[in-house]
Amino acid sequence: MELQNIIDQSIEAQSKEASATVTETLLLNKTLKIEPLTPEAFKPFGDLIDKDNSEFFMINNGSTRRYHRMADVDVADNGGEPIISIFQATPLQYPLSIKMMERHPLGSQAFVPLLGNPYLILVAPKDDSPNPDAIRAFISNGKQGVNYHKGVWHHPVLVLKEEDQFLVVDRAGPGNNCDEVYFSDKVQVELTLDDLVSI
Amino acid sequence: MELQNIIDQSIEAQSKEASATVTETLLLNKTLKIEPLTPEAFKPFGDLIDKDNSEFFMINNGSTRRYHRMADVDVADNGGEPIISIFQATPLQYPLSIKMMERHPLGSQAFVPLLGNPYLILVAPKDDSPNPDAIRAFISNGKQGVNYHKGVWHHPVLVLKEEDQFLVVDRAGPGNNCDEVYFSDKVQVELTLDDLVSI
């Protein structure tokens, strides 16, 4: 028993020390709140591509509604050209520790869901580097697409279903169009799915 | 009975006369054959946006396939800018008599189905006016999108389901970007759904 007591005390001491160290050195420790995606909330970051939040006019002799110009493709900087691609993505593991953000300094990037599945969107305001304390998390209802404005920090695709798909409209052309910033270990930002009632 | 004979003969004579008149004056009388949509068949008219017919490479640390650059958005002529819209369309009545075609002389126009429903595509080669005898009809499997190249004659949206939807990437900007050409009454081009086995 004496030996067991020593071991227990040792473990307890180590645990307290580790906990104290983490608390002292962490600069940020937060869990993101997932918000619904609305044009107003997303406005600082880009456009919502969502016919249920858009006006339309009739074309084609009255047979077609045109929900016009929900997003502008802004990719002309430095000789860029707009291109159309498809992304097929795999879900990451949750709870997810947010380790990095990226931005496209030369162009906008639009994602429109092709299979109707809800997915998550993480953004941070335009700045020299992404402010981890300013990250916002949104959930799309599966019909809503987003168009990140040029230079807006965002997390790579965050799908919730296997082999989910998006139409992507972004830029091809000369120059570096992807900056990635990795956060320090002292920054802990976590994304959980605990508060998602229904997906 | 004599009276009935006279009436019958009269009707028969009128019918023959009408038929002869139509046959003499018609310049074209055809029913379109609906073809499956393949990159090769559609190549003279535009790009297929179809991941099942495309190469991909991995991005996002291996979590995402990028089916890259399936179409170029070609809208820069005369100060044009690329924009993203949604079309919601109603089916026309079949058999459909093809009365007109349109083209966008200043830009490409991409249609990508958002609800997974098959739809029809009618195109004619680039020329001063659409040649009704050169119209081709295709059916998309509901996952395949198309990007009409600049100046390719095409029919307005031909959906087969109520309130079908497409993401559309085309042009905003100065200048006329829509030419419509109506066919003479002597041209009869019909599109039927008779040979579509399964939709």
Q: What is the pTM assigned to this prediction?
A: 0.88
User: What pLDDT does residue B7 have?
Assistant: 46
User: What pLDDT does residue B32 have?
Assistant: 97
A54 and chain B in contact, CB less than 8 A: yes
Chain centroid offset of residue B84 CA: 20
Instruction: Say how many CB pairs under 8 Å bridge A and B.
Output: 143
Between CA A126 and CA A140 the distance in angstroms is 21
Q: What is the mean pLDDT of residues B99-116?
A: 98
* C-alpha dist (Å) from residue A82 to A110, B31, B70, B75: 11, 38, 11, 9
Nearest to B73 among A60, A83, A145 (CB): A83
Write the pLDDT tens digit of every residue in A2-53: 445 544 554 454 555 555 555 568 999 999 999 999 999 999 999 999 999 9
For B74, the closest chain A residue by CA position comes to A82
**Two structure tokens written together for B75:** 């809208």
Write the pLDDT tens digit of every residue in A164-176: 999 999 999 999 9
Instruction: Count other Cβ atoms within 10 Å, centred on residue B179.
Output: 15
Q: Is the complex ipTM more than 0.95?
A: no
CA dihedral of residues A191, A185, A93, A35 (deg, nearest 10): 10
- Mean residue pLDDT of chain A comes to 91
B101 and chain A in contact, CB less than 8 A: no
**Two structure tokens written together for A106:** 């030369």
* Model confidence at B108: pLDDT above 70: yes
B97 and chain A in contact, CB less than 8 A: no
Q: Which domains does chain A have, with CATH numbers?
A: 27-191 (2.60.120.480)
Write the pLDDT tens digit of every residue in B66-96: 999 999 999 999 999 999 999 999 999 999 9
